[in-house]
Amino acid sequence: MKGIILAGGLATRLRPLTLVSNKHLLPVYNKPMIYYAVESMKKAGVTEVLITSSPKHCGQFINLLKSGFDFGLNFSYAVQDQPGGIPDAIMLGQNHVGDDNVLVILGDNIFNHPLDKTVKNFDDKGKQGATVFGVEMNTKSGQYGVIEINQYKKVLSIEEKPKNPKSNLAQTGIYIYDNRVFSFIKRLKPSKRGELEVTDLNNIYLNEGTLNCEILKGLWVDAGTSHDELLRANIKVAEKENAKS
């Protein structure tokens, strides 16, 4: 399994904090936000990790993370010239992934759910398909993509920010794909906002019946969506770290 961490975007919702800095470099308690995605990759057993970002910020990530030696990982970097959506950024990793499967983590997702067993099971069984990761919300929310599953954790539907959600299971920015993902991305067409949509990509797997869902337990914060969520991430991580001492 290879890894891709997506750390691009303009982060207009976090301005003025992001006027001169990429949001994934903002502090969350005692470390830069992207460290949490890096640590999740390492805990998942993925050692070859590609980090994608914009031309403006890619050098900042290289300065911070370097080769990955300090983390016990091997980093490479790719530039997404223009914001083109999550699938567009994943496509930059085709050569990096080669013939392997791929774990994709959005760099502003902070969570403590272990991924190692799921990654190992996906690789060991030579699975075809994809796994998305959902989190149970207190109420049905149309703020995120919404996942509907059956009792076997097979995905029945995924809708992007629906007005009438079919469940309280929100789609997070964590995905596992088989190697066919790159050929599937080439079939996608831009949405009305001019970008390739990850929900459209996941629906290709859904339509062939190979899309599964794993429900995250414990902490999950989409820290890059608003100032309030960034603050909540800081508070939650601080509470967790201080409870250890």
Task: Please tell me the predicted confidence (pLDDT) of residue 240.
Answer: 87
Q: Structural domain of residue 46, as residue ranges?
A: 2-244
208 pLDDT more than 80: yes
Per residue in 70-113, pLDDT (tens digit) is 999 999 999 998 888 999 999 999 999 999 999 999 999 999 99
Q: What is the CATH number of the domain that holds 175?
A: 3.90.550.10
Could you write out the three-class secondary structure of 147-215?
Answer: EEECCCCEEEEEEECCCCCCCCEEEEEEEEECCCHHHHHCCCCCCCCCCCCHHHHHHHHHHHCCEEEEE
Structural domains counted in the chain: 1
* CA 115/CA 104 separation, integer angstroms: 11
- Give φ, ψ of 176 to 5 degrees: -120, 130
Of the given ranges (129-143, 155-169, 172-186, 191-205), which has the lowest mean pLDDT?
129-143
Per residue in 124-159, pLDDT (tens digit) is 876 789 999 999 887 555 577 889 988 888 899 998
- Judge if the upstream peptide bond of residue 32 is cis by omega within 30 degrees of 0: no
Note whether 54 and 61 are within 8 A (CB): no
- For residue 233, give Cα distances in angstroms to 122, 181, 221: 30, 31, 6
Note whether 77 and 29 are within 8 A (CB): no
Q: What is the largest CA-CA distance in the chain?
A: 51
Task: Please tell me the predicted confidence (pLDDT) of residue 13.
Answer: 86
Note whether 61 and 34 are within 8 A (CB): yes
Averaged pLDDT score across all residues of the chain: 91
Task: Please tell me the predicted confidence (pLDDT) of residue 82.
Answer: 85
User: In a 3-state reduction of DSSP, which class is residue 240?
Assistant: helix
Per residue in 222-243, pLDDT (tens digit) is 998 899 999 999 999 999 888 8
